[in-house]
Structure 1
Amino acid sequence: MIGDEAADGPDAGAPGAPGTPDRLRRRASRLLSQLTMRSDRLIAEGLARADARNWHYAVLASLQDLGPGSQAELSRRSGIFRSDMVGVLNELAERDLVERAPDPDDRRRNIITISPRGRRHLRLLDKVVDDLHDELLAPLSPVERDQLVQLLTRLLDHHTRTS
C-alpha cells in the first residue's frame, strides 16, 4: 500500500510487523525462517568485521573440537558442500590457519589440521560469535537461551535422522 512503510522496509513481512496475520505469527516454520534470515545476516556481518566467514568458523571449530580430518570428513562435519570445501581450505591455508599433510594411509588425499595461528584465530572468532549471540538472543534469559538451544537441537537431530 502507498504510505505503508512496513510493507517496504527491512521488516516487511516479519512476523511481528504491523498487519502480519496471526496465522503467520503462529507458524513455527515462518518464525524460524524469519529469524534465520536475521541471524545469518548478523553473524555474517559480525564475522566479516573479524575478516572471517561462517565457513571459516565452522571448519576451524570442527578441527579444534573433533581433530584433524580429510576434506570429505570436514565437509560432513561442517555441512559445507565438498565442492566448496576446497575453496574454504585454500582461504584458511593462505592465512596459515590450517595445515595440509598427505594422509599416511592414502597418499592421494590430505589430512587437514588446525595450526597454532588457527587456534588463536578461533578463540577470537568464538568471542565474536558469543557477542553476536548475546545480541541475537538479547530478549531471552540465560535459562530461556539454554531451553531454545535444547529444543532447536532436538528438532534438528530428529530431522537429520529422518531425512
Structure 2
Amino acid sequence: MSPAPEDATPERLRAIPSRLLAGAAAAADRLVAERLAAEGARKWHFAALAALAETGPVSQAELSRRTGIYRSDLVAVLNELADAGFLARDPDPVDRRRNVITLTPSGRARLHRLDTLVDAAQQDLLAPLTPHQRAELTALLARLTSYHRPAHEADHG
C-alpha cells in the first residue's frame, strides 16, 4: 500500500512533530545513502572514517562506541575499508590481543570525497530553507538529540 498524498493525510497527523521528524529523517537517510552509494560507499564507511579523522588511532571497541556501529557490524565495515586501503589495522603495542585502527592517507582523501557527497545531500535536504532557518533547525535538532540522549551515552559519549 502506497503512502497517502500529503493533502489526503489527516491534519491531526500532519501536525505531529515526531511524525514530521520521522519523515524528514527518512528523506535525509535516503538522500545520504543515494549519494554515498553512487561512490560505492555506505553511511557506516563515512562514520568510521570521520571518527578516525577526528580522534586518531583507536581500538575497534572504541571506534564502535564513538560511531554507534555494533561491534559485529563494524568488523565487516573495517574489512571493506581496509581492503580498499582506507585504514590500517595493527596490533596494539600495549595489548597485542587487540587491534588499533588508523586512517591512511588514501582514507583521508576518501573521507574528503565522502564529505563532499554528504554536504551535497544536506543541501538537497535543506533546499527549501533559508541559511538562517538551516542554522536554527540544526541547533534545535542538536538540542533535542542532546536532551533525549540516554544517560549512559551522555556520561560516556
Give the TM-score, by structure 1 length.
Answer: 0.88
SS of residue paired to 1:135: helix
User: Distance between the aligned counterparts of 1:49 and 1:90, measured in 2?
Assistant: 20
Deviation at 1:161, TM superposition (A): 4.0
SS of residue paired to 2:91: strand
SS of residue paired to 1:107: coil
Partner of 1:69: 58
User: Distance between the aligned counterparts of 1:156 and 1:68, measured in 2?
Assistant: 27
* Structure having the higher Rg: 1
User: Distance between the aligned counterparts of 1:33 and 1:13, measured in 2?
Assistant: 16
Aligned residue runs from structure 1 range 11-90, under 5 A: 12-13=3-4, 17-90=6-79
RMSD over aligned CA atoms reads 1.4
User: Distance between the aligned counterparts of 2:112 and 2:133, measured in 1?
Assistant: 25
Any idea what the Cα deviations from partners look like across 1:48-100, whole Å, max 9, x if unmatched?
00111000000000000121111111111111111100000000000000011
Aligned residue runs from structure 1 range 109-124, under 5 A: 109-124=98-113
Deviation at 1:130, TM superposition (A): 0.7
Q: 1:128 aligns with which of 88, 95, 117?
A: 117
Give, as a single letter, the amino acid of the residue that structure 2 aligns with 1:63: L
User: Distance between the aligned counterparts of 1:111 and 1:131, measured in 2?
Assistant: 32
RCO higher in 1 or 2 (8 Å CA, sep ≥ 6)?
2
User: Distance between the aligned counterparts of 1:91 and 1:156, measured in 2?
Assistant: 30
Unaligned 5+ segments in structure 2 are 153-157
Give, as a single letter, the amino acid of the residue that structure 1 aligns with 2:79: N
User: Distance between the aligned counterparts of 1:74 and 1:54, measured in 2?
Assistant: 15
User: Distance between the aligned counterparts of 1:146 and 1:103, measured in 2?
Assistant: 41
Q: 2:85 aligns with which of 96, 111, 128?
A: 96
Q: 1:138 aligns with which of 109, 127, 137?
A: 127
Any idea what the Cα deviations from partners look like across 1:97-132, whole Å, max 9, x if unmatched?
001111112111001011000000111111111111
Deviation at 1:162, TM superposition (A): 3.9
Partner of 1:3: none
Deviation at 1:13, TM superposition (A): 4.2
Identity across matched positions, percent: 51
> Please, which moves more after superposition, 149-158 or 108-117?
149-158
> Please, which moves more after superposition, 38-47 or 85-94?
38-47
Moved over 3 A (4+): none
